[in-house]
Amino acid sequence: METAGPGTHSAPVFRFADGADVPQLVPLIESAYRGDASRTGWTTEADLLDGQRTDEDGVRAVVGDGGSRVLLAEADGEILACCHIEHRGAHAYFGMFAVRPQRQGGGLGRAVMAEAERVARAEWGAREMHMTVIRQREELISWYERRGYRRTGEMSPFPYGDERFGIPRRDDLEFELLIKDLG
């Protein structure tokens, strides 16, 4: 499970996370979405949410769940990107997607997503990949659409009041379901 890396970086290798990876995963996820560090990449949610994106308990729960996998891309002993894929019968769920801000824009995210889709098809026979994205993230949704995901118009509420998911900076946040046919 390898892919070419952007620039002069070593080619990342894919593997599945285990409990020992959790302390490295939390800061990776936070750096891609929250705070000033996230602003060096394009996936930041810092204008929409303050606070945390996740915590060790949340990441440990998905790493330890037998019905899911956390896929890692690493090079030279450093975790560069991750995503969570969960088996949900005929479809798989894609989430917790993070690429180090300084590695965004070079194809690593595309490679991680492609590997997650391959795993969902090959290991679980999933026919679709589902994900939810904050509907106000138009640039991110457009990126997913270019990768074959389609907007469904199906919305679900943001978990206001649960600071484990962040502190909203506005009162109109909600998630939209995106779906891709995996063939």
What is the token pair recorded at 56? 């060790």
Q: How far apart are CA 98 and CA 88, in angstroms?
A: 21
Q: Give the pLDDT mean for 54-77.
A: 93
Q: Which of 40-44, 48-52, 54-58 has the lowest mean pLDDT?
A: 40-44
DSSP assigned state of 97: E
The string of pLDDT tens digits covering residues 160-180 is: 988 888 889 999 999 999 999
pLDDT confidence of residue 164: 80
The string of pLDDT tens digits covering residues 85-105 is: 999 999 999 999 999 988 988
Q: Give the pLDDT mean for 52-62.
A: 89
Q: Does the structure show a pLDDT above 50 at 151?
A: yes
pLDDT confidence of residue 6: 45
Q: Which of 3-17, 130-144, 145-159 has the lowest mean pLDDT?
A: 3-17
Give the residue ranges of DSSP H helices in 86-183. 108-124, 138-146
pLDDT confidence of residue 88: 96
pLDDT confidence of residue 9: 64
H or E stretch at 22: helix 22-33
DSSP code string of 33-84? HSHHHHTTSS---TTTEES-S--HHHHHHHHT-TTEEEEEEEETTEEEEEEE
pLDDT confidence of residue 137: 92
